[in-house]
Structure 1
Amino acid sequence: MRHRLGSVRARATLGATLVVAVALVAAGAAVLLSLRSSLSGQASAEAERTAREVAVQLAAGQPYARLSLDDDDRPVQVVTEDGTLVAATEDLRRISGAGTETVRPTAAPSTATTAPAGPSDDDGDDGDGGDGDSDDGADGDGAAGSALRPGEIGEDTSYRDGSATIDGDTADYRFASVRVETQDRGTLTVYAGAPLSSERSAVRTALTVMLIGFPLLLAVVAGVTWLVTRRALRPVEGIRREMAAITASTDLARRVPEPDAHDEVARLARTTNETLAALETAVERQRRFVADASHELRSPIASLRTQLEVGAAHPELLDVPGAVEDTVRLQHLAADLLLLARLDAGERPAEARVDLAALAREETAHRVGVTVDAEPVEVAGSRGQLRRVLANLLDNARRHARSAVAVAVRREGRWAVVEVADDGDGVPEADRERVFERFVRLDDARSRDDGGAGLGLAIARDVAVRHGGTLTVRETAAGGALFELRLPVAQEPPDAG
């Protein structure tokens, strides 16, 4: 189980499923809230429309008994300013959330019967009754909001949720309240309700669909992601199997399959094959190096052993100078091999400051036929390794020069340049890279009496590269060989102040 959950395929499937689940929950919540808000607004509009229809009738002076309150079986109440229910839906049995919980209207005293008698009905109405209604309306409006004139309906609408029982059926409603100023009955408030059953039903239906559909959709997403990742990771599994086979067989000539695509997996396969090719080259180079080193070591050791055996049997025939020469050659070869091993192991050079001009003069002081033209320039690195580079370049030039070797040291921008030139036959253009390979000696230097083991130039280039520089060879104007060493100039130390 842990292995399956630890796979890329399982993590991708789980991650995709979780992301889709979060998105679906967020989208579902937004849809439900939007649907509820929309249906609630629809109910509010219906309730307001009903309330305003009744308010229009009241503003026109319609008696309470002739109001249209029983249409569509919706709860309607007409309440005075003091909370007295004066009109209501006929079959209303219970109500909450409206103006009053009373369901049976109470007859309100008429303004005309309480006003003093006057010369005419119109005068009485316009005098005491009309003014009294206006005052009552103004007082009520003062508590509720803006003042209304007789026959005017308030623009503001209030909403509230509640419930009502009509003709034995109980349901939830959205109530709207509208104020109206009448000519002879003062300020009245009309409460009308619109059912919320459609809203609740739609929300429940949508929620049911989501609860059923979302798990199915998540199962589909998980299944598709599992199949897609399986197909996408199939080449990776092929690469893994081939690498395991290469490791078991140690056959570095084998390569992993490369998908015919341009995606990350294809790039991984190509990079893996490039790594295998580089590893195969390095291993082959190491094998060749070991074989060449064994061959180079075998000759002086065999020669030295032969001379010692002859000397042991016939002391008068012992060739002491020859034995010393073979010993020195063997010592130099061992030192070269040890240095190459350190370079191959990635040994970093020291960060000492080395003056190449002074180093060139020191290295050429005891050499005959060598001229030096050097200006001071410092580089950072190993003084011993850089001395070895100059010595190897001078030894190579001496072996091939006819009479003279010239050394030049100068600065070119951020580079320190060392040139070692000879007046020999030069290096053919086709061999100008091959001379830097290990154990390579050109045809005219095959004799061990004339040349070394073929490691000097290889060591010189490796040291140059380790110091961030280059070593190349080209032809001089006279036709000889010119080896050019370029190293980065050492950075100036910060001021002590």
Structure 2
Amino acid sequence: MTLAGRPRAWFRRLPVVVRLVLAVAVTMSLVLTGAAGLVYWRVQTALDQQLNDDLTTYRHSLDQAVRTGAGLPPGPSGSLRQVLDAHGRVLSSSDAVRREPLLTPAELGVVMRGTTVHRDVGSLLPIAPDALRLQAGSVTADGRTRIVVTAVRRGHRDEALRELLAQLGIASGLTLIAASYVGYRTARAALRPVERYRVGAATLAGGAQNLRLDVPTDRDDEITRLGHTLNHMLDQLEAAAERERRFVADASHELRTPLTLMRAEVDVALHRPRSAEELTETLRSVDAEVQRLIDLSDALLDLEELGGTSHITRAPVRLADLVDTAVSPHRRTAERAGYGLHIDADDTTVDVDARWLVPAVGNLVDNALRHGSTSVRVTAAVRDGRVRIRVGDDGPGFPAEFLPRAFDRFARAEASRTSKGSGLGLAFVHAVATAHGGTAQARNTAYGAVVTLDLPCRAPGGAG
């Protein structure tokens, strides 16, 4: 890691609250430094302007007096003066600087060439006892060159600037402390819900059930939306766990019966000698139970896949072709049983997932053929952006007590308990409808039972 990267890595390892406070402190320091520098510069400029104006006015009056030979006028309070000849000898001077020339030999040469010299004597910090601001220029009197030097003491100006620096430093420090404190409190308040969410997640990881985060309902900020997202994730996790529990429970419940029958058949075959015909019949019975186990496992896996999929894959398909594909495998069964199989489907295009919808309709046709009397009717139409597929038979219909739980897993009418089927067909149909964002409805009519699939679809053309 480079030297420049080490501070960044160190900064990223700090807690979020500390990073936010440091960012606020650094930003406020820059802002306060800039503001204090601007205020100091404005005050210093004003004081210097006043000082320079007084100094210039005093020097002009001295220049006039030296040119005319009049007496030298008094200057402002704390002012000093010197009049020098061309060789730097003091001709006239204030008492405080009578023996000490205010100009250096180099500055004297500059003034003799006609340039005005400005210079500060002493510094603002550390404090100098005799801080001056001087101005020197040449003037001609009686044909001879004279150097007029004026100076004013900077004590009041420097004292005012030092006082200003102290006040700015105190004010900036207090402001920085206040801003850092407010930033710390604000960051803690803003991140407090995140900490609650973290504790809640830790509780969930510890085995808590039905946990939901306490998210305010009267706000819509980033933290609140995070809480809603986490709650939605918890809903999905709970739903997935519930599906897993149901899958295990359903599988264990339904697999027990065929496994028990297979074990009984094998035990009987092993406990006494059996003829070849009897062994063949036993194997056929075991094969039937194995096929039942395969069908049951396939149905459970299909239900699990549908329940665990957040969306299906829609694709354009001709509705008439979809219904024909679903019904075709059952035509021979209907012919052997002497059933009439009537189909009435719109010739239009819909956007659905045919991979799931075809077996769902096929399940309904298979149920109708098993429970009907003489005929099965399948209708499919698109109206108002929805496709409605109805499968009806002319049988006795659903038992009244069975209708409320017709789409539950392993729900079977008492009259059909001994018939073929696992009780997962209608549950699969309901899962397909729900995955499409639609509904499945079972009801009895005057002619028999009818199951209706009502699904939203997009019909690019055709009826609807």
Note the aligned Cα RMSD (angstroms): 5.4
Q: Which has the larger radius of gyration?
A: 1
The amino acid of 2:301's aligned partner reads: L
Deviations 1:255-285 (A, max 9, x none): 5667899576676566655644553343233
Q: How far does residue 291 in structure 1 lie from its aligned partner after superposition?
A: 1.1
State the match for 2:326 in structure 1: 363
| Structure 1 Cα separation of the partners of residues 372 and 89 of structure 2 | 128
The amino acid of 2:36's aligned partner reads: G
User: 1:331 aligned to 2:297?
Assistant: no
User: 1:417 aligned to 2:387?
Assistant: yes
User: 1:68 aligned to 2:61?
Assistant: no
User: 1:14 aligned to 2:19?
Assistant: no
Q: How far does residue 386 in structure 1 lie from its aligned partner after superposition?
A: 3.2
The amino acid of 1:362's aligned partner reads: T
State the match for 1:388 in structure 2: 359
Q: How far does residue 296 in structure 1 lie from its aligned partner after superposition?
A: 1.3
| Structure 1 Cα separation of the partners of residues 399 and 82 of structure 2 | 115
Q: How far does residue 335 in structure 1 lie from its aligned partner after superposition?
A: 1.4
Mapping for residues 417-436 of structure 1, pairs under 5 Å: 417-422=387-392, 435-436=406-407
Q: How far does residue 371 in structure 1 lie from its aligned partner after superposition?
A: 1.8
| Structure 2 Cα separation of the partners of residues 89 and 437 of structure 1 | 116
Change (3 A) 1:394 1:447: same
| Contact 2:378/2:391 (8 A) holds in 1 | yes
Change (3 A) 1:72 1:376: same
| Contact 2:258/2:293 (8 A) holds in 1 | yes
User: 1:290 aligned to 2:260?
Assistant: no
Q: How far does residue 403 in structure 1 lie from its aligned partner after superposition?
A: 4.9
State the match for 1:449 in structure 2: 418
State the match for 2:35 in structure 1: 27
| Structure 2 Cα separation of the partners of residues 418 and 285 of structure 1 | 28
Instruction: Specify every segment of 5 or more residues in structure 2 that has no aligned partner in the other structure, as ranges.
Output: 1-8, 123-128
Q: How far does residue 393 in structure 1 lie from its aligned partner after superposition?
A: 2.9
The amino acid of 1:172's aligned partner reads: L
Q: Secondary structure at the match of 2:441?
A: strand
| Structure 2 Cα separation of the partners of residues 69 and 433 of structure 1 | 115
State the match for 1:122 in structure 2: none
Change (3 A) 1:23 1:273: same
Deviations 1:219-238 (A, max 9, x none): 56545655665566555445
State the match for 1:252 in structure 2: 209
State the match for 2:410 in structure 1: 439
Equivalent residues, number: 424
User: 1:200 aligned to 2:161?
Assistant: no
| Contact 2:11/2:19 (8 A) holds in 1 | no
| Contact 2:369/2:393 (8 A) holds in 1 | no
State the match for 1:172 in structure 2: 132
Select 1:405's aligned residue among 376, 379, 386: 376
The amino acid of 1:66's aligned partner reads: G
The amino acid of 1:203's aligned partner reads: L
Larger CA deviation: 398-407 vs 295-304: 398-407
Mapping for residues 38-117 of structure 1, pairs under 5 Å: 38-50=46-58, 63-75=68-80, 90-91=94-95, 94-95=101-102, 101=108
| Structure 2 Cα separation of the partners of residues 430 and 193 of structure 1 | 114
